[in-house]
A and B are shown apart, each in its own frame.
Chain A
């Protein structure tokens, strides 16, 4: 592997800006790596080398003309295939959108372009971002670079695997119930779910609109902060976008000082269903925070016990409504239109052929939860639980500055193990879901390898709404201390591909 691939995004940005290396050379090194490892990893659904090199050369020309670009200009990024891109197909991992080229760019896409990032291609995901393993992709599973027989997490599993396999220094994801933090945790990298509304949903193919949040993946905390800053901020095209400054995430990642910080350990996370090796690394991370000068207390959030059932009513309800747009009329697949069938019959045949099992399950579950007679008991009650979860967070953040927990109850599980057991699969998001329901910020940073299987464990750091900078400050402090202990990044311990 060339040394260029091992560089951080921040380093690459400086080298390119200083014209010590061209964006085109950096892009080519990553394209070569993709060609080498993709047969094993399958992180990408689409890569077009010509488009990549054309973007990189355009950045080199802008730099040569003396244009001042952002700190990530010329740095490659892998883009989750749920963001629309007008020069690349966008499938959301579904057969119903196979071959579709959107007529417009998502706001995140256009901001990546404006900042001079080079989009390497589109990454694999669970169909419509519904899943925790990337096995629900219609285009085959992605493999975890630590152990190719295991899942890379999901739904942004292509994004996590691409970064962990050194195919890209950065990638984008979306987090609806944990779809950035869980894949980051199980592949030993950093993944951040910003405050809801802090990053634009315009051009993100919708799953659950009140929860969907775009965010960054990187191999270190500072790089994640740089990408976060590059694509976040208010967007007039998204009516739920927050009208506020982007929190000072890059500054926080550079400071990494947590002396005097109050840290709460969520009492409700742990015990049955948690892998011992995960809990062991988590407890060590808490001790580490204390040794770095933080004040650690235990905090109780009793309603978190109901977050998972509430989420699996709210998210499917929103998805059943959002996915009604796939009606075979305006774009995407159309099946059975032989002149004899009505529009409604064609619609039902197309949706049956174009959606995979998990998407069908969730559409029907949502339709059920929203139907008259059940609405109050299911969707209505789940919305009340959502209020209680927000109140638990509010009360906790009166006592402490951040909350911590394991990101996931277990390390990466084997591909196929939970594929036909939806409830077992849903448990992967046990610790990440409360943050989506309350809309606050949370990050996952690597905190070691579990003793049982030698696979990565993630530490989740949760902060209040618009407290994104705290996630980066604490994450960077933990990273610095652990990398001193390990003698380098955790990812250096991953087997060669």
Chain B
């Protein structure tokens, strides 16, 4: 049985904001199915009472003094922007026409 279907991959691509072509979906569906099948082996480990680790080291929140310091200028911050207008990032429309 497939661990992951082509429709699921299409859904994942939408969630991931990847406009994939149909051939790509077919190709990735087969590969992701194989990968998911392999990584699902983690289920074999009896770990009900084991706490999860999100991180290798036991670090808790790290704070620094809240001091004002020099940061990027607007010019530097915008230096790599695909489009700029009036010292701001210019972006395509975010809301629909009727909004």
Which of A333, A346, A364, A436 is the most central at the interface, judged by chain B CB atoms within 10 Å of its CB? A364
What is the 8 Å Cβ interface bit string for chain A, positions 341-352, against chain B (1 contact, 0 not)? 111111111011
| CB-CB contacts below 8 Å: A369-401 with B | 369, 371, 377-378, 380-388, 390
Closest to B61 in A: A239
Tell me if B1 counts as interface (CB < 8 A to partner A): no
Tell me if B68 counts as interface (CB < 8 A to partner A): no
- Chain A residues with CB under 8 A of B51: 384, 387
Tell me if A422 counts as interface (CB < 8 A to partner B): yes
Size class of A's contact patch? 35 or more
- Chain A residues with CB under 8 A of B83: 334, 337
How many residue pairs between the two chains, A and B, have CB atoms under 8 Å in the bound complex? 184
Among A343, A378, A387, A436, contact of B39 (Cβ-Cβ < 8 Å): A378
Q: Is the interface of B mostly helix, strand, loop or mixed?
A: loop
- Chain A residues with CB under 8 A of B42: 306, 309-310, 313, 378, 381-382, 385
Tell me if B2 counts as interface (CB < 8 A to partner A): no
Q: Is the CB of A332 within 8 A of B56?
A: no
Size class of B's contact patch? 35 or more
Q: Is the interface of A mostly helix, strand, loop or mixed?
A: helix
- Chain A residues with CB under 8 A of B38: 309, 312, 423
Among A313, A343, A351, A390, contact of B93 (Cβ-Cβ < 8 Å): A343
* A387 in contact with B52 given A306-B41, A341-B92, A344-B17 (CB within 8 Å): yes
Q: Is the CB of A240 within 8 A of B55?
A: yes
- Chain A residues with CB under 8 A of B57: 196-197, 240, 242, 439, 465
* A333 in contact with B82 given A348-B18, A363-B16, A380-B52 (CB within 8 Å): yes
Among B12, B41, B81, contact of A364 (Cβ-Cβ < 8 Å): B12
Tell me if A276 counts as interface (CB < 8 A to partner B): no
* A386 in contact with B80 given A367-B12, A378-B39 (CB within 8 Å): no
- Chain A residues with CB under 8 A of B40: 309, 377-378
* A352 in contact with B89 given A240-B59, A381-B42, A390-B53 (CB within 8 Å): no
Among A102, A309, A310, A342, contact of B92 (Cβ-Cβ < 8 Å): A342
Query: How many Å lie between the Cα of A351 and that of B41 in the bound state?
Result: 30
Q: Is the CB of B45 within 8 A of A210?
A: no
- Chain A residues with CB under 8 A of B8: 368
| CB-CB contacts below 8 Å: B3-42 with A | 4, 8-9, 12-21, 24, 27-28, 31-32, 34-36, 38-42
Closest to A384 in B: B47
* A361 in contact with B28 given A351-B19, A384-B47 (CB within 8 Å): yes
Among A352, A369, A436, contact of B19 (Cβ-Cβ < 8 Å): A352
Which of A100, A211, A348 is the most central at the interface, judged by chain B CB atoms within 10 Å of its CB? A348
- Chain A residues with CB under 8 A of B79: 101, 103
Query: How many Å lie between the Cα of A387 and that of B54 in the bound state?
Result: 9
Query: How many Å lie between the Cα of A158 and that of B82 in the bound state?
Result: 29
- Chain A residues with CB under 8 A of B54: 210, 383
Tell me if A437 counts as interface (CB < 8 A to partner B): yes
Q: Is the CB of A352 within 8 A of B20?
A: yes
Which of B18, B36, B45, B54 is the most central at the interface, judged by chain A CB atoms within 10 Å of its CB? B18
Q: Is the CB of B16 within 8 A of A320?
A: yes
Q: Is the CB of A423 within 8 A of B47?
A: no
Report the 8 A-B pairs with minimum CB-CB distance, sorted nearest first: A439-B56, A383-B52, A331-B80, A334-B82, A384-B47, A348-B19, A103-B76, A309-B39
CB-defined A-B contacts under 8 Å, sample of 11: A104-B76, A239-B62, A240-B57, A312-B38, A329-B91, A334-B82, A337-B92, A364-B16, A369-B39, A371-B15, A381-B43
Given pairs A349-B19, A387-B52, A422-B31, 10 additional interface contacts (CB within 8 A): A103-B80, A309-B41, A332-B80, A344-B17, A364-B13, A365-B39, A377-B40, A381-B47, A384-B53, A439-B57
